[in-house]
């Protein structure tokens, strides 16, 4: 059954190969001081940086640059941004990059004017902002996290070995996001494929929860079928604009809150994956890929009806003459085939995980209640073993 | 291919059997003068009216009532609303009803402070508002049009025999909409079923256009499968809350602009259906039902690949050993079966159409360019004949 819920997603999107031109329109809505944040500087090689600076200059903006956002943005980088934002009177945070940069921009938007330690308030205690929120705009160059149209923000505390997400409300969602599929064409294959699995995981972790048969599940199935179709094309030919644009659009809808409306969600794969990321600094999507199949096989009997539906509706498994369990297992086998086809990491050891890390990963794994089975700490260690 | 597009849908939704309680939260955002508009007064019988008035009183609002919005809201009713809104200084238009009342509220929101004749400006000349727009909130009591989360507004001019829609931008979309599935349980079966077909038609008219294979099509297929599933349950047992809530949510997503992003759309069925409505005052969804199959059979060969896909992906038609045309036709046969199962009107004569009306209907039918075949006036008359 579709439970009671609220829905509001005010982010304005500009999608397409001409979408950067709308930055001009958006910049007019904000004051003069723009904090421009980005990652390792690849945007300087492919020309995106120059185009953005030109738009900022045309609009007489003061640009305060904050480069060097890492793939798992740290709390120390957040403190650096807060100091910079306090020094200047920032009117808009403009994030250029993938999910990490967008996540970081949102963390900064609620933290810059926060009176207490934002790590404690937002990530440890999961409290709401009670201070002014600086508006955020995103220019996406990598696909996967959906951060361009949601209030999510994951930050890592390296010393505490914690990687924690906070899903903020619609007041923290980006005011606008520019989605140009051509920007994603130059992303290295490893990151591209990791993004593909991140998208699948976002859909799966919302879909594979609850007993109920509702509209949301049907939308999720449509998105998964689209994703499987387009990633197969993109894995063969990463330059295929049509496939990459469909994947970009699917990624947005995979995690812009629609798929969680009125239903329970799981998110345990993200919890384990994030704990792996906190210990190893491995690429997010690959941590999810390495633990997904062992996790789903571990809980398959607890959510048998939904796993069976997944097999039939998403992978076209013919159920005739098969037990529900056999059908459900065939669905996961098909998922495994697709994962190998697109080339994700299938084992934690490839990400640098060693047995000696099990305890730290298990300690960093939040045990949630939305899945088909409530995991124990021992279960997490068992799943880690099976993921090696 | 997914073309370039913008997307923004800021409407805040409250969904569920407890959703009216959020009216209180929303009312606090607006000034004291509330124009309360509704239809024939059924909301006074089922208690919704009293609950709303209580919330308005609790918030010390001045309530200006505007009842009597008809199922095809006329331009004369619009002028009446404009006069009332000018007399009072309205801060919020609160629409309680189905798509007609929501459409009417949006028409009024852009017309009340319009310096010229709004019929000419918005409906005949299809121009944008250049005046202040009064905010709109909706409390939905009937499902189908999607008007609760879009900028669409259809108004009828009885003397000109024209029923014309204008799709306004996101500044005209409702600021909030309250969707309580229990309110829809008392809608008479005829209106309920008409709404079901209206939803299907919204999805189909966006899906059955363009050659391309994009994410939007997969989402549309998911929504159609959900709709078929839930309407079969609701047709047997209209009191089934689960089915009715899924249908309500599907209706919202069928026409809140998502399904048209990056692709062409058809809408010729709506054009013919609206022309029928202008001449007969028949229920909107039933006018669409009566002309859909003849229209789709008329254009089937022009859009064969998509009709084939519709048959296989939505109706599970087995294509083995069949020609594309045979598969496509089997899909429409399955659609016909579902229409008869839920009990829509299959013939225009049941709606009071007579041969003498063909010319007036054809005159009132806008001939659009987005479908698989550009219709001529003669084609429209042929389709009307086949719809009798």
C-alpha distances out from residue B65 to B37, B41, B81, B96, B183, Å: 6, 12, 10, 11, 20
Query: Fold identical between B12-183 and B189-386?
Result: no
Q: Which residues lie across from A94 on neighbouring strands?
A: A36, A137
For chain B, how many residues are written?
388
Q: Are B20 and B179 spatial neighbours (Cβ–Cβ below 8 Å)?
A: no
- Name residue, tokens 């899903």: A167
SS3 for B323?
Answer: coil
Could you give the maximum distance between any two Cα atoms of chain A, in Å?
69
* pTM (2 d.p.): 0.96
Angle at alpha carbon of residue A283, lines to A203 and A281, rounded to 5° = 130
Nearest to A342 by CA among A286, A284, A283, A280: A286
Q: Which residues lie across from A92 on neighbouring strands?
A: A34
Determine whether the interchain pair A6/B13 forms a contact, defined as Cβ–Cβ distance below 8 Å. Answer: yes
Rounded Cα distance between A313 and A303, Å, is 16
Query: pLDDT digit of tens for each residue in chain A (388 aa)?
Result: 789 999 999 999 999 999 999 999 999 999 999 999 999 888 999 899 999 999 999 999 999 999 999 989 999 999 999 999 999 999 999 999 999 999 999 999 999 999 999 999 999 999 999 999 999 999 999 998 999 999 999 999 999 989 899 999 999 999 999 999 999 998 999 999 999 999 999 999 999 999 877 999 999 999 999 999 999 999 999 999 999 999 999 999 999 999 999 999 999 999 999 999 999 999 999 999 999 999 999 999 999 999 999 999 999 999 999 999 999 999 999 999 999 999 999 999 999 999 999 999 999 999 999 999 999 999 999 999 999 9
Nearest to A219 among B5, B15, B219 (CB): B219
* Residue A168, pLDDT score: 97
What's the DSSP call for residue B8? Answer: E
CATH architecture of A12-184: 3-Layer(aba) Sandwich (3.40)
Domain B12-183 class, CATH top level? alpha beta
Q: Are B337 and B302 spatial neighbours (Cβ–Cβ below 8 Å)?
A: no
Q: Which helix (H) or strand (E) holds B154?
A: strand B152-157
* Closest chain A residue to B218, measured at CA: A222
Task: Give the DSSP per-residue string, B193-251.
Answer: HHHHHHHHHHHHHHHSS-S---HHHHHHHHHHHHHHHHHHHHHH-TT-HHHHHHHHHHH
Residue A42, CB-side half-sphere exposure with 13 Å CA sphere: 16
In tens, the pLDDT along B205-232 reads 999 999 877 999 999 999 999 999 999 9
Query: pLDDT digit of tens for each residue in chain B (388 aa)?
Result: 789 999 999 999 999 999 999 999 999 999 999 999 999 888 999 899 999 999 999 999 999 999 999 989 999 999 999 999 999 999 999 999 999 999 999 999 999 999 999 999 999 999 999 999 999 999 999 998 999 999 999 999 999 989 899 999 999 999 999 999 999 998 999 999 999 999 999 999 999 999 877 999 999 999 999 999 999 999 999 999 999 999 999 999 999 999 999 999 999 999 999 999 999 999 999 999 999 999 999 999 999 999 999 999 999 999 999 999 999 999 999 999 999 999 999 999 999 999 999 999 999 999 999 999 999 999 999 999 999 9
Determine whether the interchain pair B15/A8 forms a contact, defined as Cβ–Cβ distance below 8 Å. Answer: no
Task: Give the DSSP per-residue string, B74-93.
Answer: BHHHHHHHHHHHHHTT-SEE
Determine whether the interchain pair A16/B22 forms a contact, defined as Cβ–Cβ distance below 8 Å. Answer: no
Residue A310 backbone dihedrals phi, psi, to 5 degrees:
-55, -45
Best interface-test mutation with A: which of B143, B219, B221 has the largest number of A CBs within 10 A? B219
The domain spans of chain B are 12-183, 189-386
Rounded Cα distance between B295 and B379, Å, is 9
* Residue B2, pLDDT score: 87
Structure tokens that stand for B146 in this block: 């999607």
Q: Measured between alpha carbons, how far apart are the two ends of chain A, in Å? A: 37
* Residue A213, pLDDT score: 78
Report CA A147 to chain centroid distance, whole Å.
6
Residue B62, CB-side half-sphere exposure with 13 Å CA sphere: 8
Residues of A in contact with B229 (CB under 8 A): 213, 218
CATH homologous superfamily, domain A189-386: Dehydroquinate synthase-like - alpha domain (1.20.1090.10)
Structure tokens that stand for A22 in this block: 């709308």
Nearest to B214 among A18, A214, A246 (CB): A246
Q: Are A103 and A60 spatial neighbours (Cβ–Cβ below 8 Å)?
A: no
SS3 for A140?
Answer: strand
* Residue B220, pLDDT score: 97
Nearest to A221 among B17, B222, B250 (CB): B222
Give me the residues of A, 248-307, that contact B with CB < 8 A.
Answer: 249-250, 253, 261-262
Using the Cβ of B7 and the Cβ atoms of chain A, whether some distance falls under 8 Å is answered with yes
Structure tokens that stand for B150 in this block: 């879009």
Could you give the maximum distance between any two Cα atoms of chain B, in Å?
69
Nearest to B10 among A6, A10, A230 (CB): A10
Rounded Cα distance between B245 and B231, Å, is 11
């Amino acid at each position: 059954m579709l439970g009671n819920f609220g829905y509001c997603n005010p982010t304005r999107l500009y999608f397409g190969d001409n979408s950067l031109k709308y930055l001009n329109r958006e910049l007019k809505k904000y004051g003069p001081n723009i904090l421009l944040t980005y990652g390792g500087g690849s945007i300087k090689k492919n020309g995106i940086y120059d185009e953005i600076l030109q738009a900022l200059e045309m609009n007489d903006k003061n640009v305060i640059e904050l480069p060097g956002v890492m793939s798992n943005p740290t709390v120390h980088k957040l403190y650096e941004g807060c100091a910079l934002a306090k020094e200047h009177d920032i009117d808009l945070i403009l994030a250029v990059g993938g999910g990490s940069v967008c996540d970081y921009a949102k963390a900064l938007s609620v933290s810059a004017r926060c009176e207490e330690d934002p790590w404690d308030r937002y990530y440890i205690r999961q409290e709401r902002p009670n201070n002014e929120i600086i508006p955020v705009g995103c220019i996406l160059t990598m696909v996967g996290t959906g951060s361009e149209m949601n209030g999510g923000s994951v930050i890592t505390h390296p010393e505490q070995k914690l990687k924690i997400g906070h899903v903020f409300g619609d007041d923290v969602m980006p005011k606008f996001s520019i989605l140009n599929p051509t920007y994603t064409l130059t992303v290295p294959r490893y990151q591209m494929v990791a993004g593909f699995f991140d998208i699948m995981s976002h859909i799966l972790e919302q879909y594979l929860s609850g007993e109920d048969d509702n509209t949301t599940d049907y939308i999720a199935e449509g998105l998964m079928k689209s994703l499987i179709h387009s990633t197969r094309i993109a894995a063969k030919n990463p330059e295929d604009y049509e496939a990459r644009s469909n994947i970009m659009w699917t990624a947005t809808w995979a995690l812009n809150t629609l798929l969680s409306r009125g239903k329970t969600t799981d998110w345990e794969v993200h919890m384990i994956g994030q704990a792996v990321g906190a210990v190893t600094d491995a690429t997010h999507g690959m941590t999810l890929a390495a633990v997904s199949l062992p996790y789903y096989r571990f809980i398959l009997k607890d959510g048998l009806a939904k796993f069976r539906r997944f097999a039939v509706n998403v992978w076209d498994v013919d159920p005739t003459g098969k037990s529900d369990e056999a059908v459900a297992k065939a669905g996961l086998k098909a998922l495994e085939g697709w994962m190998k086809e697109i080339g994700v990491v299938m084992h934690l050891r490839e990400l640098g995980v060693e047995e000696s890390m099990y305890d730290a990963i298990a300690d960093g794994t939040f045990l949630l209640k939305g899945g088909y089975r409530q995991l124990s700490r021992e279960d997490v260690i068992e799943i880690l073993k099976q993921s090696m």
